[in-house]
Structure 1
Amino acid sequence: MIFTLSVVGLARTILWIIAIYFIIKILSRLLAPFLIRFAARKMEEKFGQQFNQQYKQDNPKRKEGETVIDKMPNDNSQSNKKVGEYIDYEEID
């Protein structure tokens, strides 16, 4: 089947493209606040769940003012006392 290009068909296609563009633009302005509000609510729930899970894991029943050390640092690192020899020098002008 061979299609021929006509001015009327081209104008009709361009008008349809412009009409669809404006319809999408108008609908996005109307629906965007609802979509953003929905996404923000979902993120808030997700962050709240993560916070509650972490808070429950990190905060077992402790008395107020009690100091707890979970892990003592390893003191296996030994410093090398003999780093090098000291060289005395004089400035030459």
Structure 2
Amino acid sequence: MQTASFTGFIKAIFYMIAFYYIFRFLAKLFLPLLVKKVVEKAGQNFQQQQQYQQQTTWKKTQSKDEIIYNIENTKNPRETKKVGDYVDYEEID
């Protein structure tokens, strides 16, 4: 059976501190590269989804051969809901 010693405790603390600083140093080096790769990959996925969406929309519009203009919405702006009339109250003493 082994017993704990003061020098073993100091070594363990030293290794923990060394590991912490080495990890911080490596994170400063490689974390920006890793984040850059993730952002680029997300951008590529976004572009692929956009292209797929545009292609499917283009295929749908090619098959119809008709153009529909909705003139009603362009001439009349959207009205707000009329809840009721405004009544101005005055206090009577």
Which category describes the TM-score, using the shorter chain as reference length? 0.5 to 0.7
Q: CA deviation at 1:33?
A: 1.1
Aligned residues: 65
The two structures, once aligned, show a CA RMSD in angstroms of 1.9
Structure 1's unaligned 5+ residue stretches are 70-93
Q: CA deviation at 1:14?
A: 0.7
Matches within 5 A, 1:5-84: 5-60=4-59, 67-68=67-68
Q: CA deviation at 1:15?
A: 0.4
Q: Which whole-Å CA distance do the structure 1 matches of 2:48 and 2:4 have between them? A: 60
Identity between Structure 1 and Structure 2 (%): 28
**What is the letter of the counterpart of residue 37 of structure 1?**
K
User: Deviation per CA, 1:18-62, whole angstroms, max 9, x where unpaired?
Assistant: 100110011101111111111111111111111100110012365
Q: Which whole-Å CA distance do the structure 1 matches of 2:57 and 2:33 have between them? A: 36
Query: Normalising by the residue count of structure 1, what TM-score does the alignment of the two structures yield?
Result: 0.63
Structure with greater helix share of residues: 2
**What is the letter of the counterpart of residue 55 of structure 1?**
Q
Q: CA deviation at 1:67?
A: 2.8
Q: CA deviation at 1:68?
A: 4.2
Q: Which whole-Å CA distance do the structure 1 matches of 2:46 and 2:33 have between them? A: 20
Q: Which whole-Å CA distance do the structure 2 matches of 1:40 and 1:27 have between them? A: 20
Query: Normalising by the residue count of structure 2, what TM-score does the alignment of the two structures yield?
Result: 0.63
Structure 2's unaligned 5+ residue stretches are 70-93
